[in-house]
Chains A and B, each alone.
Chain A
């Protein structure tokens, strides 16, 4: 069979067999919260693909040109090449608008998935030793995602992005001592300059995506090396991972997720308009925008700029401008805290141990409180970024609304954090599995910090069986109350299998060691037949749809080696 020939050829040259076997048998935990990282990865792939297509048409230059194309209101007008090529991508390049909008939607999805993924890691304590380094890599990727989103948004040289660019320029300018140097070095002079767009471009399509590729590789390699953490459950120990194997089940589900992400991105890209730069018009330094909101992941900065009172002060006779504290300050403090969090928490709790079993959020009420504080704080900032719209819709004067939000941003995070803290303590104290099941006693325990006596679980009845297969490989299986878990791969000798079992379940009795006649236990729930049938069905349907006569030979069986 062709696959066997390929395997043999590769193995003879590179020795890929054992890596390949280990990789296919790698176990992934089956929990829905583990999907967000994958969604981020697949959104990044969508960005790479759509972005590469855009580079074939986009001209990163602000030199003047005449737009000459299908969009009537601008036809014949003198605009920058960047703006003209973006309009051309939207009206004159067939499928260009789909790809452009899909790129933008994928960017929004990408950042959202990263944020949710990070929240999962945060609230379950997955960043604890030994995974602090991967947390640091992840926080860096979040920062880069924000940066790349912003540079992408700024490149088309439309009125809205030009205004956003000016606000960023002013924000950099506000940094004490070095601000004017950093801003003018980065922009190549005083805003706006012809140097800006080409620099944004090279950073957006080469430098930052390159760093991303490197960091994503590091991120995934660390996961492979350390293996996944997992939620507590039957058979889940510090020295094992329980779930589905990469091949076949997990791979199929993950590709399903990939195609699902692509489906969402292209549905939004085709059906929901985003960033219609032709309506905003080209950038001009003397033209004001009509009120407009930035992309959601930079809107917190916009909200902070709006909320902060009009305070500028002097240090040694030098000015510290208004944008410094809300924009530079909040951003810097947030990212410093994010980077430092694993060590801050270790210092607070004194917990230096290595953890493979995740926590439920309730197990660390303090962490829940901090997370709730941060989420509420940023939620208020996001709402503030739309205060003009809210004022218009509700007819509340914008100044009154702003006052209210200024109070809310100070008070609300503490309130939410306190509620979250006591709820977590109540959940931890009692036996409730969800909020609805909380009893009054639990709530009391949550408020007073007293813990309710719970009898320790009885030592579960568990054992491991080891056996030899007819093909002379060895497998083992763990039996616990109400749960059975199979070793993820077949071992070549008995000792190897035994070692694996003892690593995964230290101290558990291994029995029926080599049954006399080599009893073969059936592998759990494994049904190879239908997969082959479905493959045949796929081929048949494809051929039928293409109008060819299907020739009903069953395709050769693809063995799934047990």
Chain B
């Protein structure tokens, strides 16, 4: 407590509270004015914060300096009733007149309620449309099959000659540009350095793989040409393209599935078949 006596401390406190509430009014006016002048986010936030802070400060001083703090005691009676009262309650719920005494009927009632409960779970199945295949089929199947043309995410077909060493070309199946499971990439590797032949085959060093990380499904966007690695931005898994996209660092445990690649008479890239394995994150029924 500052000041020369209780009263002088109080006048000081009152002055501070009055000032704080005046700041609140200014803040509120500032907010309204900033809004009217176009609503600059910083000014709006600052003025509103100042307005609330004025209230917070003023009320804190009011509560601490002008009002009694502590010094009170409240009794806390035992909540539990006496055993006798509890017995009375129990007798009222399952005494001789109680419907609960008819055990057989209660059993049937529970069975009925349970049956309704189970029956009402069925409509939850509608969350997955019946027009869609069952989950495992969906997860195993992608739109890639023999003859499907590879296009960029913007829908442009890709030629073999577009694939330059040093960068990857992201491709999706023509007509399915926003499918979640289909994104793949095509890259030109140095065929002499291949440690392991790509299971899906290559076109003179040009290979295609699923873009989805086998850890948790993020697109593995980063190609490091010097090492021939694909890096996942999510949890730093790395896949070695010269070893058929084997995982060599990070939490991913499976290689990226390959996509058999072909080139048509017009020079455009097409798939020669589906991915060598279901793409992306694993699941229980994955082969």
Contacts and interface: CB of A to CB of B under 8 A. Distances in A.
Interface in A284-339: 284-292, 302, 305-312, 318-323, 326
B249 A323 contact: no
Given A176-B284, A190-B181, A185 B127 contact: yes
Contact of A531 (B62, B75, B135, B138): B62
Interface in B100-151: 124-125, 127-129, 132, 135-136, 138-139
Name which of A243, A489, A501 has the most chain B CB atoms within 10 A of its CB. A243
Contacts of B55: 255-256, 259, 263
B203 interface: no
Interface in B16-50: 17-18, 21-22, 25-26, 29, 35, 38-39, 41-46, 48-50
A396 interface: no
Given A181-B135, A542-B21, A262 B52 contact: yes
A515 interface: no
Interface string B165-183: 0000010100000111101
B216 A288 contact: no
B89 interface: no
B69 to A, nearest CB: 5
A541 interface: yes
A286 B216 contact: no
Contacts of B249: 399
Given A240-B75, A285-B180, A288-B218, A302 B68 contact: no
A525 B138 contact: no
A500 B249 CA distance: 69
Interface string A241-256: 1111100111011011
B228 interface: no
B72 A259 contact: no
Interface stretch (A1-9, A465-473, A532-540): A532-540
Interface stretch (A115-123, A266-274, A364-372, A439-447): A266-274
Contacts of A420: none
B157 interface: no
B135 A95 contact: no
A346 B236 CA distance: 43
A170 to B, nearest CB: 3
A192 to B, nearest CB: 5
A321 B138 CA distance: 18
Nearest to A64: B178
Contacts, number: 331
A163 B234 contact: yes
A484 interface: yes
A158 interface: no
B222 interface: yes
A65 interface: no
Contacts of B58: 256
Nearest to A94: B39
B233 A487 contact: no
Contacts of B254: 312
A388 B44 contact: no
A117 B246 CA distance: 46
Contacts of B219: 163, 285-288
A527 B66 contact: yes
B285 to A, nearest CB: 7
A270 B18 contact: no
B3 interface: no
A504 B73 contact: yes
A166 interface: yes
B68 A240 contact: no
Nearest to A302: B235
B69 A322 contact: no
A160 to B, nearest CB: 11
Contact of A288 (B51, B221, B247): B221
Contacts of A253: 59-60, 63-64
A183 interface: yes
Contacts of B183: 285-286
B250 interface: yes
B167 to A, nearest CB: 14
A311 B247 CA distance: 11
Nearest to B29: A545
Contacts of B38: 94
Among A163, A166, A174, A356, residue most surrounded by chain B Cβ atoms (within 10 Å): A166
Contacts of A175: 284
A239 B74 CA distance: 9
A169 interface: yes
Contact of B220 (A252, A262, A288): A288
A268 B39 CA distance: 16
A186 interface: yes
B170 A259 contact: no
Interface in A147-188: 163, 166-167, 169-171, 173-181, 183-186, 188
A537 B17 contact: yes
A538 to B, nearest CB: 5
A394 to B, nearest CB: 15
Interface stretch (A24-32, A138-146, A452-460): A24-32
A240 B127 CA distance: 53
A263 B68 CA distance: 26
B282 A174 contact: yes
A484 B29 CA distance: 46
Contacts of A102: 45
A267 B50 CA distance: 8
A555 interface: no
B222 A288 contact: yes
A135 interface: no
A252 B283 contact: no
B235 A305 contact: yes
Nearest to A235: B73
A431 interface: no
A245 B233 contact: no
Given A94-B38, A94-B39, A253-B59, A186 B127 contact: yes
Interface string A219-251: 000000111000000010011111111001110
Given A255-B59, A288-B222, 17 more contacts: A94-B35, A167-B218, A227-B74, A240-B76, A244-B69, A252-B63, A255-B55, A256-B57, A259-B56, A288-B218, A289-B233, A306-B251, A310-B237, A321-B286, A322-B216, A531-B67, A534-B14
The 8 A-B residue pairs with the shortest CB-CB distance, nearest first, are A270-B45, A288-B221, A321-B282, A170-B281, A256-B59, A267-B49, A286-B183, A260-B56
7 contacts: A244-B72, A262-B52, A263-B51, A286-B172, A310-B252, A402-B236, A530-B66
